A and B are shown apart, each in its own frame.
Chain A
Amino acid sequence: MAQRAGLLVRRDGELSFLPASVARFLVPLPRLTKIPWDSAQMARVGGEVVPVLALGTPSGELLLCEFEGQAVALSGLSAERVGFWPASESGVNVDGATVPIFDLRTALMQFRSDRPAAQQGAPHD
């Protein structure tokens, strides 16, 4: 059976799997900066400014990911384990239980749709 390498994260009590190709590294939660007239937050990690998707209550760590060639950070997750697990249809099998792959694409889409349009929120001249 094929193995999948990656990271198990817990979000609101639920385990999810992030492939090692997406999950880059973890850092202690830095100071997050809100962008004016926008719900997005930014963080500076290793000299690079990255957008932050807040997925839940801040857990004290930030997960740096690379998705479609773009760097994005996830907060509100708690990293639990790294390893190789047998692949299942929707994720991986961990100790006999199926852990789904974290749907980063959907999360990003939701993040985009939840944001107020820049034109609507920004002040006019």
Chain B
Amino acid sequence: MTDSNEKPSPISAIEAARLLAALEAAKTAASHASSEQRAASAGFGRFRGELAAVQESVRKLGTRSRDLKNSLHVLRESVDRAKLSALNAGLEGARLGEPVGKALVVMSDEQRNLLARALDALEEHSALLAEVERDRERCFGEISQMREGVSQSDGVLTRAESQSKLTVALLHELRTDFGQLFGSDPEAARAMAEAAQQVRTAAGSVLQLTQRSALDSNALRELLSPLLSLLPNREDPPR
């Protein structure tokens, strides 16, 4: 029963219960958000690790590419020298004159043709390798940018997680303050609101019964007034 000297609360018990429920829901949502952010942050961590591994592989590809380039250079030198050898053999044949040296000259010319084809192929390989190297460098740069982006996103996520944790803590504090503000435990406030609802329903039923009976409604209202004073003035929809 409400003490007549006590200042009435600006909000009803039902409103308090609703606020409490909203508070609880907000706290739960913030808690979920925090754990989701933690999971996402862990995912980002794994992704960052995988990106680092990919970047390392791309870097190693660069070393292989340089090895290949060196091999091609050695091949090119060898083909160049073989070409000079073929020409020198041809010069010997030319000095010997026809018909003795003719075979040597013809062989030299054939060899020179083959070596020219080999040189063309080597040039093509060098060009392809240069293209691959350009692609690799572009890839390496893009992975670096991705890693940077993931790091930034991870940082944002970590800050968001901290904010969520802070929100949960603040909501918890708010819940405690809420209890202190209404002089009771929020659970008790909820129980009170439910009880008040039941009392109101019961009082309404009694009033209906009275109207049907011969009992004077005014007398009955007087009789029920201590009970009705517990209820808020306006109609609250049932929770």
Measured between beta carbons, the chain A residues less than 8 angstroms from B118 are: none
Interface residues of A toward B: which range? 10 to 19
Main secondary structure of the interface of B (DSSP, over half): helix
Residue of A nearest to B85 (CB): A26
- Could you tell me if B84 and A79 are in contact, using CB atoms closer than 8 angstroms? yes
Residues of A within 8 A of B (CB): 3, 5-7, 20-21, 23-28, 60-61, 79, 81-84
CA distance A84 to B105 in the complex (A): 8
Measured between C-beta atoms, what is the minimum distance from A35 to chain B in Å?
26
Residues of B within 8 A of A (CB): 77, 80-81, 84, 87-88, 90-91, 93-95, 97-98, 101-102, 105, 108-109, 112
Known contacts A5-B97, A82-B94; can you find 12 more A-B pairs with CB under 8 A?
A: A7-B90, A7-B94, A20-B91, A25-B88, A27-B84, A28-B80, A28-B84, A81-B109, A82-B87, A82-B90, A82-B108, A82-B109
Measured between beta carbons, the chain A residues less than 8 angstroms from B81 are: 28
- Could you tell me if A25 and B91 are in contact, using CB atoms closer than 8 angstroms? yes
Residue of B nearest to A19 (CB): B94
- Could you tell me if A7 and B95 are in contact, using CB atoms closer than 8 angstroms? no
- Could you tell me if B94 and A6 are in contact, using CB atoms closer than 8 angstroms? yes
Measured between beta carbons, the chain A residues less than 8 angstroms from B91 are: 7, 20, 23-26, 82
Measured between beta carbons, the chain B residues less than 8 angstroms from A26 are: 84, 87-88, 91
- Residue with the greatest number of chain A CB neighbours at <10 A, chosen from B81, B91, B101: B91
Known pairs A81-B112, A82-B105, A83-B105; A20 contacts B94 (CB<8 A): yes
Give me the 7 closest cross-chain CB pairs, A-B, nearest first: A82-B90, A5-B94, A20-B94, A26-B84, A20-B95, A25-B88, A79-B87
Measured between C-beta atoms, what is the minimum distance from B81 to chain A in Å?
6
